[in-house]
Structure 1
Amino acid sequence: MSHIALEEWKNYARDEMDDHKRTEYEEHLYSCDQCMSLYMEAVEAAQDELPSIEGPSLYTEQVMERIPVERDPVMKPGKRPWYEEKVFHYVLATAMTLILMASGIFGELTKITTDFEKNQQPSFTENILNKTTALLDSVEEIEEQEAE
Structure 2
Amino acid sequence: MHRSYDLWIAYMENRLPEAEREEAERHLYVCDDCLALYLRVVDQQSVAWEEERAKVVTAEVMDTIQSQGQYSGAKLQMRRERRRRLIHYTVAASLTLLLMSSGVFQQLMSYTESWRNAYEVADQQKVPNAEKVMKHATSLLEGWMKRASFN
Question: Would you say same fold, with TM above 0.5?
Answer: no
Larger Rg: 2
Q: Give the number of the structure with larger relative contact order, counting CA–CA contacts within 8 Å between residues 6 or more apart.
A: 1
TM-score range, shorter chain: 0.3 to 0.5
* TM-score between both structures, scaled by the size of structure 2: 0.33
* TM-score between both structures, scaled by the size of structure 1: 0.33
Task: Flag the structure with higher helix content.
Answer: 2
